[in-house]
Every structure is written in structure tokens, then in C-alpha cells.
């Protein structure tokens, strides 16, 4: 049987590209997300193009009942997940802390922190039982630095950074790798979501430099996940060449 990767948030951006790159490598793929039409299309496309097996699970990572029900509904052989990519996540708003919406904070905390934990809580025992596995957590440069208007997004990604470190220590006896991936600006649906459909703000984010693409991060994840069994990339910061840190861009 092919190796199995589970990618959360595979309906767009980094997650979609990652599902496709693993499929190219011959992995069977479990894809998740809230937008069922997109999952159905991706499932069909990956099966046809790469002749691999695909399962799609349509759930919101913020709802632990849905997370447990969907993941536990996988047939036993599909629970042998080799690689879990905890990718589903978002930033909501870029407002000063004294002005931001509580609902934005709640959405980020519930998705990026609690959602990642809910999924990991189901999948890690499967890996522990088999004494093998690799968890790749999508953190961010926002998990390493803090910028204006980003306090809560930065806080949730700092939490992901800490969870990756904690997961690595707790799972050490079970031969489980944990990789924390921290990208700078990647042009996906991220900014349209963050700015709630404001195209001007979205376009301004990526103006005057070449941002990373979802495929760049996907290649990096696949690289980390296909290293020899004794090698683990713990923590990886990856930026566009024109971005030095979260606030320094060379725009032309
Ligand atoms: P996209 O908006 O393109 O993709 C986000 C994915 O997450 C979608 O598939 C979406 O699926 C899923 N998702 C969001 N909320 C939920 C939810 N409640 N339940 C289930 N799935 C959810 O953004 P990116 O691809 O850029 O983002 C992927 C990850 O990378 C995020 O964790 C983000 O924080 C991180 N990241 C992004 C960077 C960037 O500049 N783009 C840089 C650094 C890190 P659906 O809506 O169908 O549920
Ligand atoms: C996304 C990158 O710089 O907008 O995680 O926080 S940034």
C-alpha cells in the first residue's frame, strides 16, 4: 500500500498544492476542508492524474465533534497516516489590538490553535501505535516575530511554534518527526480571507515583489517528509527573496 498523507485545508493555497505534490510522489491522500465542491473536484483530479487513492473529509476543524467523527470514520487501513500536514488556518483582520473584532480573534484561536490540536489529538495516537509518523505544522514568520495589527495572528502562530516543540518532546519515544514550517508572504487566498474580500488590500500585500507560491511551500513540505528516517527538519523559515522579515520588503 502507498504511504498516506492527511492534509487539512486542502481546498486552496498551500494545502491544495501540498496534496497535489504528495500525490505526484505516489502517496494516497486524505484531503479536508469546509468547501465540499472543491474537495470533490480535487479528489477527482488527483485520482485521474496520479492514479492514487483519495479520501475527502468535509468538516470544520473548529468543531471537535466533527473532527473526531470524520477522522474516525476512515477505514482502518486509512488510519495508518504517515504524514499529517496541519495546514488549515487563517488570519482574520489586521487591526490594532484596541480596535480589533472579538469574532476575528475567536476565529483565529479556534481554527489555528484549537483546530490543529483537535486533529492532532486523533491522529497522533494512530502514529504512536505504529511507532512511526511525521507531523508538519504550518506556522508562519508570524510565529517568530510580531508586527503591527498582527497581535492575535502572531499569538496563534507563536502558539503553533510552541505546540510543535511540545509535540516533538512528547512524541520522542515513538519515532515521530515534527516539522514546524514558517513561511513569509505566500500568494494564496490568505489575504483575501484576512481582508474579507477587499481586493485593494489583497493586491497591495503582494505588490512590487515576487511572493512565494503555494507550490514553493508544498515542495518544501514534501522535501522534509521524504528525508531518510533518521533525519528530521525541526524548524524551517522560508521567505520570498525580497522579504527579510515580517516588516521588511524590497518592493520595486
Ligand atoms: P488559504 O486561504 O489559501 O487556505 C486556507 C485553507 O484552510 C483552506 O483550504 C481552508 O479551507 C482551510 N480552512 C480555513 N478555516 C478552516 C476551518 N475552520 N476548517 C477547516 N478548514 C479551514 O491560505 P494559505 O494556503 O495561505 O494558508 C494555509 C496555512 O498557511 C495557514 O495555516 C496560514 O496561516 C499559513 N501561512 C500562510 C502564509 C501566507 O502568506 N499565505 C504565510 C505563513 C503561513 P475551507 O475554507 O474550504 O475550509
Ligand atoms: C502569513 C504571513 O506575514 O502575513 O502567515 O503574517 S504574515
CATH number of the CATH domain containing 228: 3.40.50.720
Atom of ligand 2 nearest to the CA of 142: 6
Chain-centroid distance, C-alpha 4: 16
Q: Which of 7, 8, 9 should be mutated for ligand 1, with most atoms under 8 A from CB? A: 9
Q: Which of 13, 84, 206, 238 should be mutated for ligand 1, with most atoms under 8 A from CB? A: 13
245 occurs within a structural domain? no
Q: What is the largest CA-CA distance in the chain?
A: 53
192 occurs within a structural domain? no
CA of 173 to the centre of ligand 1 (A): 31
Number of domains in the chain: 1
153 is catalytic: yes
231 occurs within a structural domain? yes
**Within a 10 A sphere around the Cβ of 212, how many other Cβ atoms?**
21
The CB of 246 under 6 Å from ligand 2? The reply is yes
85 occurs within a structural domain? yes
Cell of 40: 470533490
Per-residue pLDDT of the chain (252 residues; tens, 9 = 90+): 799 999 999 999 999 999 999 999 999 999 999 999 999 999 999 999 999 999 999 999 999 999 999 999 999 999 999 999 999 999 999 999 999 999 999 999 999 999 999 999 999 999 999 999 999 999 999 999 999 999 999 999 999 999 999 999 999 999 999 999 999 999 999 999 999 999 999 999 999 999 999 999 999 999 999 999 999 999 999 999 999 999 999 999
Cell of 241: 527573496
15 occurs within a structural domain? yes
The CB of 168 under 6 Å from ligand 1? The reply is no
Q: 185: burial class by Cβ within 10 Å (0-12, 13-18, 19+)?
A: buried
204 occurs within a structural domain? no
Domain that holds residue 45: 4-185+211-238
Amino acid at each position: 500500500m502507498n504511504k498516506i498523507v492527511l492534509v487539512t485545508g486542502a481546498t486552496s493555497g498551500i494545502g491544495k498544492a501540498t496534496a497535489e505534490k504528495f500525490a505526484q510522489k505516489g502517496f494516497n491522500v486524505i484531503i479536508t476542508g469546509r468547501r465540499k465542491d472543491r474537495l470533490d473536484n480535487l479528489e477527482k483530479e488527483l485520482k485521474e492524474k496520479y492514479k492514487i487513492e483519495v479520501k475527502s473529509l468535509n468538516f470544520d476543524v473548529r468543531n471537535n465533534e466533527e473532527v473526531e467523527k470524520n477522522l474516525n470514520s476512515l477505514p482502518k487501513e486509512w488510519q495508518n497516516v504517515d504524514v499529517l500536514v496541519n495546514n488549515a488556518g487563517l488570519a482574520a483582520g489586521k487591526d490594532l489590538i484596541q480596535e480589533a473584532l472579538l469574532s476575528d480573534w475567536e476565529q483565529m484561536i479556534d481554527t489555528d490553535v484549537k483546530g490543529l490540536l483537535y486533529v492532532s489529538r486523533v491522529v497522533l495516537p494512530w502514529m504512536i501505535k505504529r511507532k512511526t509518523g511525521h507531523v508538519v505544522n504550518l506556522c508562519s514568520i508570524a510565529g517568530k516575530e510580531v508586527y503591527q495589527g498582527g497581535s492575535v495572528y502572531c499569538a496563534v502562530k507563536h502558539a503553533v511554534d510552541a505546540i510543535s516543540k511540545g509535540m516533538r518532546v512528547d512524541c520522542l519515544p515513538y519515532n515521530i518527526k515534527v516539522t514546524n514550517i514558517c513561511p513569509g508572504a505566500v500568494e494564496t487566498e490568505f489575504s483575501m480571507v484576512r481582508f474579507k474580500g477587499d481586493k485593494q488590500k489583497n493586491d497591495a500585500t503582494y505588490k512590487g515583489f515576487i511572493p512565494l507560491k503555494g507550490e514553493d511551500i508544498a515542495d518544501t513540505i514534501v522535501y522534509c517528509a521524504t528525508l531518510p528516517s533518521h533525519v528530521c527538519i525541526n524548524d524551517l523559515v522560508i521567505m520570498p527573496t525580497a522579504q527579510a522579515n515580517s516588516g521588511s520588503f524590497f518592493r520595486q
